[in-house]
Each structure stands twice: as structure tokens, then as C-alpha cells.
Amino acid sequence: MGTLKSVGFKAVGMVLHRLGILGFISRLVDRLQKKTGSNAPLPFPLIQKRVSRPIQILMYHGIDDAWSPFLGPAPIRGFRNQLRYLAESCNVLDLGEAVERIQKRDVPHRAVVITLDDGYRDSYVNAFPLLREMELSATIFLATAAIGTGKVLWHDRACWMISQTTVSSLEGFGSRIRYELNTREGKRAAQEGVLWYLRSLEDQDRIDALEQLSTHLQVSGEPDSEPRLMLNWEEVNEMYQSGIRFGAHTVHHPILSKIPLSDVASELRESKETIERHVGCRVTTFAYPSGRPEDYNSDIKGIVKQEGFACAVSTVTGANYEGDDLFDLKRVGYWDQDIGPFGLRFEYSRFCA
């Protein structure tokens, strides 16, 4: 069903773009929205005059075309096409500015925020030139243990081990599932399954499980520091000078609900202070590592506030409105590679938002 809907979006989006009527649809969506409180599968005739201005926060991680031993980055072409659509039709704000506008109840028309998580070097090499060319700002969340240190985050180490292993299968690790590791597809499935399992563990258990994974896969050590996976501070500073903004994403990227609250505070404080020291800016935005509802809670939200942040984003899908909890901001990820399908999906989600 999901696949059918996706194919439908792609085909219809291509046609609408080719016919040049996506702009007309976007103007309609500016005036109309799905009737609030309606869960009907078909919007028509449950349409009302637009009463709310959603802010959509788009979420990206890696942006690269090259095959990666880490969890697959999104292709550059799709990112470029998505930016082109946003540049032509939206008000792109950085997250700090968006939060100020929400607080002042002054959200602009078609407000969008672009965010990139973790601090991959391809944010600088691939995403930054496109953002600069289209004069768009973005907010990049840095997990500071991996910035300018040659280190990688734990989830990338797990993916790397799976990509490097020569054993033919992984069995008896975490769950009863057996992963075949003879093909790239098999390894990709194993990466996702293993990450899902690791995220479910208490912090020390996760650290121990990574070592067990290393034994199972007969891969030891760390990925080579060249080619470099993560940003360094020169790159961060250069992007900052050109209007890119930076938010904190902890030091070590732990799942915050799986570590003691005192450690939550130090992870937040240290990552915030490290960015402020290197960049000379005030850091007021935060992204919860992994960001699913089970990865943070109200105590953790309280600590984020206490540590001086103005907002925090999750990975829960949805749009944001004036009056929403600024420490529970939703985001959305689009995988469309072409302008038409992306534009149609973007307008449809604004219509339903």
C-alpha cells in the first residue's frame, strides 16, 4: 500500500511538474488545508480555509553519491532538487530563527527549516556548496566527540564492522534473526537490524554489545581516519561564516533515555560548550540522538531547558505550529529524487498538516 502510494506520488508529481501546475497547487495549499480533526483517507470535500501556518523541519544525515561502508547517505541529486524547490517556493529559516518566530507568533508563510544531523564531512563537501549557491541557511547538529578528532560515532562503527566483515552470516547476536552477509543488500539489512537492537540497550550493554559484534564479525579496531567521515572545526567555522548554524547533538551520541540523568546533563553541557568555544557563537538548538519517542522523556526535556537550550528536535514525523512544545519539535524526511514528486509530497503534507 505504501509502495503503491509512493509510485502514485512519483508519477503524478512528474506529470504536474512537467505541466507546470505545481505552482498552482502550492498556491491552493497556501489558502486551503485539510479540515482539522478529520481522519478521512480522502481530503475532498473535507477542506477548509487555511487557519494555521505550519513550520516544516526537514531532516537529513549524510549527503553523498559514493558507496559508503556506513549507513547509506542520501544521493546528492535528490538533495539538490529538494533545495531547488524550497529555494523557489519557501521561506527557509535556520532553526534558531524559526524558534524566535514561533515565540513571537510571527511564523512566516511557507516556513521551512533544513537540518543535517551528526556532523558528516559530506555536509561540507556536498551539501554546503548547494546551500551557498541557493543562498539557503541550514542547521547542522554536531556530536562533538567525532568532530575534528578522527573518531566515528558508535552507530557508524557498527555499520563499518558489518561492511568490512568476511564472515558469511551473523547469528545469535541480539536476537534470533540470522543475517546473511554475502551481499551488499544482506549487509544493509544487517546494519539496520543491528542498529535497531543496539538502540534498545542500556548504555553499558550497548558498549559491551559492540565489542561482542566485533568478535562475531571478526573485525577489530576502528575505521581508517582517511578518508575522513566527520567534519573538522575549520570546516565548521567556514560554514558558520557563510550563514550555516550549528546545534548540539551530545558528545558521544548516547540514547539519552538509556543513561543516568546526571550524564544527560554533562553530555548536553559539554557538546554545547565545545561548539561555542570552537565557533564563538551561542548554541541554543539541540537534537535528541536517534530522536524516537522512546529515546527521550520529560525529565530529559527538563534538562535540555535547564542547560540553556531554546528548543530540541526529535525524529518524530510531523509539522510544528505556534504554541507547540519547543522541546518536542517534529521533523520530516523526504526521499524523493525529482522536483515534481518532492513538490507534490511537500504540498500534500502541508495540506494535511
Q: Give the footprint of Zn ion on this chain (CB under 5 A).
A: 117-118, 289
Q: Which residue lies nearer to Zn ion by CB, 291 or 340? A: 291
- Shortest Å, Cβ 88 to Zn ion: 29
Q: Which of 161, 72, 156 is nearest to 118 (CA)?
A: 156
- Judged on CB neighbours under 10 Å (0-12, 13-18, 19+), 31 is exposed
Rounded CA separation 353/320 (Å):
8
Rounded CA separation 313/327 (Å):
7
Q: Which residue lies nearer to Zn ion by CB, 161 or 287? A: 287
- Shortest Å, Cβ 313 to Zn ion: 11
Rounded CA separation 288/43 (Å):
33
- Shortest Å, Cβ 73 to Zn ion: 13
Q: Which residue lies nearer to Zn ion by CB, 117 or 307? A: 117
Rounded CA separation 238/128 (Å):
10
Rounded CA separation 303/126 (Å):
34
C-alpha grid cell for residue 260?
543516568
- Shortest Å, Cβ 315 to Zn ion: 9
- Judged on CB neighbours under 10 Å (0-12, 13-18, 19+), 193 is middle
- Shortest Å, Cβ 147 to Zn ion: 13
Q: Which residue lies nearer to Zn ion by CB, 286 or 351? A: 286
Q: Which residue lies nearer to Zn ion by CB, 90 or 114? A: 114
